[in-house]
Amino acid sequence: MRDRLILLPGWGLGVSPLEPLAEALRALDEHLRVEIEPLPVLLSADLEDWLDELDSTLPDNVWLGGWSLGGMLASELAARRGDRCCGLVTLASNPSFVSREDWPSAMPASTFEPFLNGFRDAPNTTLKRFCLLCSQGSIEPRALAGLLLGGAPKAQPDTLLAGLEVLGKLDTRAALQAFSGPQLHLFAGQDALVPVQAATDVLALLPDVEVGLIEQACHAFLLEAPHELAAAIQAFLHELGDE
Protein backbone atom coordinates (compact mmCIF):
# COMPACT_ATOMS: atom_id res chain seq x y z
CA MET A 1 0.00 0.00 0.00
CA ARG A 2 2.47 2.59 -1.22
CA ASP A 3 -0.42 5.06 -1.36
CA ARG A 4 -1.08 4.95 2.37
CA LEU A 5 0.76 7.05 4.98
CA ILE A 6 0.13 6.67 8.70
CA LEU A 7 1.28 9.52 10.94
CA LEU A 8 1.91 9.32 14.68
CA PRO A 9 1.66 12.44 16.88
CA GLY A 10 4.16 13.82 19.34
CA TRP A 11 4.04 13.60 23.11
CA GLY A 12 1.13 15.02 25.04
CA LEU A 13 -0.69 17.03 22.37
CA GLY A 14 -2.84 14.44 20.60
CA VAL A 15 -3.64 14.17 16.91
CA SER A 16 -4.87 17.72 16.20
CA PRO A 17 -1.44 19.26 15.37
CA LEU A 18 -1.10 16.77 12.49
CA GLU A 19 -4.51 17.51 10.94
CA PRO A 20 -3.45 20.56 8.83
CA LEU A 21 -0.59 18.53 7.34
CA ALA A 22 -2.85 15.58 6.59
CA GLU A 23 -5.34 17.88 4.86
CA ALA A 24 -2.58 19.56 2.84
CA LEU A 25 -1.24 16.17 1.72
CA ARG A 26 -4.69 14.96 0.66
CA ALA A 27 -5.18 18.17 -1.34
CA LEU A 28 -1.89 17.61 -3.18
CA ASP A 29 -2.54 13.95 -4.00
CA GLU A 30 -6.08 12.58 -4.04
CA HIS A 31 -4.71 9.04 -4.34
CA LEU A 32 -2.70 9.26 -1.12
CA ARG A 33 -4.50 7.94 1.96
CA VAL A 34 -3.25 9.86 4.99
CA GLU A 35 -4.31 8.68 8.44
CA ILE A 36 -3.37 9.92 11.90
CA GLU A 37 -3.08 7.25 14.56
CA PRO A 38 -3.06 8.24 18.27
CA LEU A 39 -0.12 7.13 20.35
CA PRO A 40 -0.68 4.09 22.58
CA VAL A 41 -2.22 4.77 25.98
CA LEU A 42 0.04 2.75 28.26
CA LEU A 43 1.33 2.92 31.81
CA SER A 44 4.50 1.11 30.73
CA ALA A 45 7.66 3.01 29.82
CA ASP A 46 9.08 -0.08 28.10
CA LEU A 47 9.67 0.64 24.40
CA GLU A 48 8.83 -2.94 23.39
CA ASP A 49 5.36 -2.60 24.90
CA TRP A 50 4.78 0.55 22.84
CA LEU A 51 6.03 -1.11 19.66
CA ASP A 52 3.93 -4.24 20.30
CA GLU A 53 0.84 -2.06 20.65
CA LEU A 54 1.59 -0.09 17.46
CA ASP A 55 2.54 -3.22 15.51
CA SER A 56 -0.76 -4.89 16.39
CA THR A 57 -2.81 -1.76 15.61
CA LEU A 58 -1.25 -0.39 12.40
CA PRO A 59 -1.64 -2.14 9.03
CA ASP A 60 1.37 -3.69 7.31
CA ASN A 61 2.98 -2.44 4.11
CA VAL A 62 2.26 1.26 4.57
CA TRP A 63 4.43 4.35 4.92
CA LEU A 64 5.10 5.19 8.56
CA GLY A 65 5.72 8.71 9.79
CA GLY A 66 5.40 10.95 12.79
CA TRP A 67 6.16 14.17 14.59
CA SER A 68 8.80 14.28 17.34
CA LEU A 69 8.15 11.24 19.62
CA GLY A 70 5.79 9.88 16.94
CA GLY A 71 8.62 9.96 14.40
CA MET A 72 10.95 8.17 16.81
CA LEU A 73 8.38 5.42 17.38
CA ALA A 74 7.74 5.18 13.63
CA SER A 75 11.50 4.74 13.13
CA GLU A 76 11.66 1.87 15.59
CA LEU A 77 8.57 0.22 14.10
CA ALA A 78 9.96 0.60 10.56
CA ALA A 79 13.14 -1.18 11.62
CA ARG A 80 11.13 -3.93 13.31
CA ARG A 81 8.97 -4.42 10.20
CA GLY A 82 11.75 -4.16 7.62
CA ASP A 83 10.34 -5.07 4.20
CA ARG A 84 6.82 -4.81 5.63
CA CYS A 85 7.23 -1.03 5.78
CA CYS A 86 7.16 1.03 2.56
CA GLY A 87 9.25 3.85 3.99
CA LEU A 88 9.67 6.37 6.78
CA VAL A 89 8.95 10.10 7.17
CA THR A 90 9.92 11.93 10.39
CA LEU A 91 9.10 15.53 11.34
CA ALA A 92 11.18 17.46 13.89
CA SER A 93 12.21 14.09 15.27
CA ASN A 94 15.67 13.77 16.81
CA PRO A 95 17.11 10.23 16.88
CA SER A 96 17.80 10.91 20.56
CA PHE A 97 15.68 13.63 22.19
CA VAL A 98 18.08 13.80 25.14
CA SER A 99 21.77 14.42 24.49
CA ARG A 100 24.34 11.67 24.86
CA GLU A 101 28.13 11.70 24.80
CA ASP A 102 28.11 10.58 21.17
CA TRP A 103 24.99 12.60 20.24
CA PRO A 104 25.32 16.11 21.71
CA SER A 105 22.81 17.74 19.31
CA ALA A 106 19.83 17.23 21.60
CA MET A 107 18.24 18.51 24.81
CA PRO A 108 20.74 18.37 27.70
CA ALA A 109 19.87 15.79 30.36
CA SER A 110 20.19 18.64 32.88
CA THR A 111 17.19 20.27 31.16
CA PHE A 112 15.15 17.12 30.55
CA GLU A 113 15.33 15.68 34.08
CA PRO A 114 13.83 18.78 35.79
CA PHE A 115 11.14 18.81 33.07
CA LEU A 116 10.30 15.17 33.82
CA ASN A 117 10.20 15.85 37.57
CA GLY A 118 8.17 19.01 36.97
CA PHE A 119 5.58 16.96 35.10
CA ARG A 120 5.35 14.51 38.01
CA ASP A 121 4.71 17.39 40.42
CA ALA A 122 2.59 19.73 38.28
CA PRO A 123 1.46 18.09 35.01
CA ASN A 124 -0.85 20.87 33.79
CA THR A 125 1.70 23.64 34.35
CA THR A 126 4.43 21.56 32.70
CA LEU A 127 2.26 20.80 29.67
CA LYS A 128 1.63 24.53 29.21
CA ARG A 129 5.38 25.11 29.37
CA PHE A 130 5.90 22.37 26.81
CA CYS A 131 3.47 24.07 24.41
CA LEU A 132 5.44 27.30 24.77
CA LEU A 133 8.68 25.44 23.99
CA CYS A 134 7.07 23.84 20.93
CA SER A 135 6.08 27.28 19.62
CA GLN A 136 9.26 29.14 20.58
CA GLY A 137 10.85 30.56 17.44
CA SER A 138 7.58 31.18 15.61
CA ILE A 139 6.28 34.64 14.67
CA GLU A 140 3.42 34.41 17.18
CA PRO A 141 4.57 31.91 19.81
CA ARG A 142 1.84 32.54 22.39
CA ALA A 143 -0.97 32.18 19.88
CA LEU A 144 0.58 28.97 18.54
CA ALA A 145 1.07 27.60 22.07
CA GLY A 146 -2.59 28.34 22.77
CA LEU A 147 -3.61 26.37 19.68
CA LEU A 148 -1.50 23.40 20.78
CA LEU A 149 -2.83 23.43 24.32
CA GLY A 150 -6.43 23.94 23.18
CA GLY A 151 -6.26 20.88 20.95
CA ALA A 152 -4.55 18.62 23.50
CA PRO A 153 -6.65 15.74 24.85
CA LYS A 154 -7.38 15.43 28.56
CA ALA A 155 -4.99 12.54 29.07
CA GLN A 156 -4.21 10.96 32.43
CA PRO A 157 -0.91 12.18 33.89
CA ASP A 158 0.27 8.59 34.49
CA THR A 159 0.07 7.67 30.82
CA LEU A 160 1.67 10.95 29.75
CA LEU A 161 4.47 10.35 32.24
CA ALA A 162 5.12 6.91 30.71
CA GLY A 163 5.37 8.53 27.27
CA LEU A 164 7.75 11.16 28.58
CA GLU A 165 9.96 8.44 30.08
CA VAL A 166 10.00 6.62 26.72
CA LEU A 167 10.96 9.89 25.02
CA GLY A 168 13.85 10.37 27.45
CA LYS A 169 15.25 6.87 26.92
CA LEU A 170 14.78 6.44 23.17
CA ASP A 171 17.78 6.32 20.84
CA THR A 172 16.65 5.42 17.32
CA ARG A 173 20.04 5.59 15.58
CA ALA A 174 20.48 1.82 15.32
CA ALA A 175 16.91 1.45 14.04
CA LEU A 176 17.42 4.14 11.38
CA GLN A 177 20.63 2.46 10.23
CA ALA A 178 18.97 -0.96 10.19
CA PHE A 179 15.96 0.13 8.11
CA SER A 180 16.87 -0.17 4.43
CA GLY A 181 13.70 1.43 3.04
CA PRO A 182 13.45 5.05 1.85
CA GLN A 183 13.65 7.73 4.55
CA LEU A 184 12.82 11.43 4.69
CA HIS A 185 13.68 13.45 7.79
CA LEU A 186 12.44 17.05 7.99
CA PHE A 187 13.68 19.53 10.60
CA ALA A 188 12.81 23.09 11.67
CA GLY A 189 15.43 25.83 11.70
CA GLN A 190 14.09 27.64 14.80
CA ASP A 191 13.30 24.53 16.86
CA ALA A 192 13.75 25.07 20.61
CA LEU A 193 13.52 21.34 21.38
CA VAL A 194 15.56 19.74 18.55
CA PRO A 195 18.78 21.63 17.74
CA VAL A 196 19.16 22.42 14.04
CA GLN A 197 22.56 20.67 14.13
CA ALA A 198 20.64 17.38 14.46
CA ALA A 199 19.71 17.63 10.76
CA THR A 200 23.39 17.70 9.76
CA ASP A 201 24.17 14.88 12.18
CA VAL A 202 21.36 12.70 10.80
CA LEU A 203 22.73 13.18 7.29
CA ALA A 204 26.21 12.21 8.52
CA LEU A 205 24.74 9.12 10.21
CA LEU A 206 22.61 8.20 7.17
CA PRO A 207 24.29 9.60 4.03
CA ASP A 208 21.86 7.82 1.68
CA VAL A 209 18.62 9.28 3.05
CA GLU A 210 16.77 12.54 2.36
CA VAL A 211 17.10 15.27 5.00
CA GLY A 212 15.32 18.61 4.69
CA LEU A 213 15.24 21.83 6.70
CA ILE A 214 12.47 24.41 6.89
CA GLU A 215 14.53 27.31 8.15
CA GLN A 216 11.98 29.83 9.47
CA ALA A 217 9.93 27.39 11.53
CA CYS A 218 9.65 26.15 15.12
CA HIS A 219 9.10 22.67 16.57
CA ALA A 220 5.37 23.04 15.91
CA PHE A 221 5.97 23.56 12.19
CA LEU A 222 3.03 21.25 11.50
CA LEU A 223 0.83 24.25 12.28
CA GLU A 224 3.21 26.91 10.96
CA ALA A 225 4.09 25.43 7.58
CA PRO A 226 1.76 22.50 6.76
CA HIS A 227 1.75 23.23 3.02
CA GLU A 228 5.54 23.47 2.84
CA LEU A 229 5.87 20.18 4.72
CA ALA A 230 3.23 18.54 2.55
CA ALA A 231 5.01 19.67 -0.63
CA ALA A 232 8.31 18.18 0.59
CA ILE A 233 6.67 14.89 1.55
CA GLN A 234 4.65 14.66 -1.66
CA ALA A 235 7.74 15.37 -3.80
CA PHE A 236 9.64 12.64 -1.93
CA LEU A 237 6.85 10.07 -2.38
CA HIS A 238 6.33 11.06 -6.02
CA GLU A 239 10.04 10.74 -6.80
CA LEU A 240 10.08 7.22 -5.39
CA GLY A 241 6.92 6.34 -7.31
CA ASP A 242 8.62 7.32 -10.55
CA GLU A 243 11.63 5.08 -9.98
Active site residue 55: no
Report yes or no: 70 and 63 within 8 Å, Cβ to Cβ.
no
Q: Which residue in 105, 138, 171, 191 is the catalytic one?
A: 191
Q: Which residue in 93, 96, 135, 219 is the catalytic one?
A: 219
Report yes or no: 236 and 184 within 8 Å, Cβ to Cβ.
yes
Q: How far apart are CA 119 and CA 111, in angstroms?
A: 13
Active site residue 44: no
Q: Which residue in 68, 75, 93, 99 is the catalytic one?
A: 68
Phi and psi torsions of 125, nearest 5°: -65, -40
Active site residue 60: no
Q: Which residues are catalytic?
A: 68, 191, 219
